[in-house]
Amino acid sequence: MPNLKSIKRKISSIKNTRQITKAMKMVAGSKFKKNQSAMNEYRAYAGIYDGIINNIKNNSVLHLHPFYGKNDGKDRKIGGNTGIVIISTDRGLCGSFNINLFKLFNEEIRSKGFDEGKIKIYVLGKKAYDFFKKNNYDISFGMLYSDGDSILNIAGLLCDAVIKDFKNKEIDGVYIISNRYISTLQQRAYSEKLLPFETPDDSVTSKSGGYLIEETTGYENEIIDTIFNNYFRTKIYYKILESFAGEQASRMNAMDNATRNAGKLINKLTVAYNKARQTAVTLEILDIINGVNAVK
């Protein structure tokens, strides 16, 4: 027969856990609204910047810029080091949010034929940092959100490290793997190539969306360089904001599921407790009856 005290202790423990998961869901919900608002506000700016870059980067005048992977007309070597930016979280308890990033990372290595020995990792978030350190990857840049710096500064430091390595030809391509926010219930790991820019076909080379771009020298080169660098920072910063919103949504859903499962488990244990108590009462009655019969 099950121990009544043991079952009662389990029920009490699970109730305490349910209170914690319920509180964590509420905290995640509050943070989610804040992060979702920040993501939505920045999305318009990032979208406009995407449009500007897509319009001007098709112009052949710019194709000698380092972001196209060329230098003095020479393409970068094939099969060189690849830089991969991973945007994860500092904390867990958010379902498969981080695990999906690592799965996609392994899938990208296989599908694109990357040499694991020539991959340089640029990491944001403790979860990714611990994962890649444990698997002995070359972590060129690693930073935690809990380090205390602002998100904008963290994004800037990451971008500076990646752009510096790309311009110095220490890496020949840059990919970013992060979670794309689709809805409150769905976040999907997504991989995107950031650098080098693709050189378009001749049919679209001259199109610049109304922007007049001439041969660039001196200050003009600095302006184009600033535009491209800011575009890269904008891209990274938006990915971080999107990841923050997705993280809280995923944690909110995970804690909601945990709270529901705790309730179901409490109900099952309560039924088991009642059955055990009824059995104990029945046995006590039988003992009394047997004792009375024995006296007779």
Q: Which of 114, 126, 138 is closest to 87 using CA atoms?
A: 126
- Alpha helices (H) in the chain, listed in sequence order: 4-56, 97-112, 126-134, 151-167, 202-205, 219-295
- Provide the terminal-to-terminal Cα distance of the chain, rounded to the nearest Å: 30
76, 166 contact by CB (below 8 A): no
- Backbone φ and ψ for 210, nearest 5 degrees, come out as 90, -5
116, 136 contact by CB (below 8 A): no
Measured CA to CA, the distance from residue 182 to residue 100 in angstroms comes to 15
39, 181 contact by CB (below 8 A): yes
pLDDT by residue for the chain (296 residues), tens only, comes to: 568 888 899 999 999 999 999 999 999 999 999 999 999 999 999 988 888 888 777 766 666 777 876 544 444 444 568 999 999 999 999 989 999 999 999 999 988 888 888 899 999 999 999 999 998 888 999 999 887 778 889 999 999 999 999 988 888 889 999 999 999 889 999 999 998 887 665 544 445 555 555 555 554 567 778 888 899 999 999 999 999 999 999 999 999 999 999 999 999 999 988 888 888 778 777 777 777 677 76
Angle separating helix axes 126-134 and 97-112, nearest 10 degrees:
50
> In terms of CATH, what superfamily is 21-255?
ATP synthase, F1 complex, gamma subunit (3.40.1380.10)
Measured CA to CA, the distance from residue 281 to residue 287 in angstroms comes to 10
- Alpha helices (H) in 57-142, listed in sequence order: 97-112, 126-134
173 SS3 class? strand
31, 255 contact by CB (below 8 A): no
List the chain domain ranges: 21-255
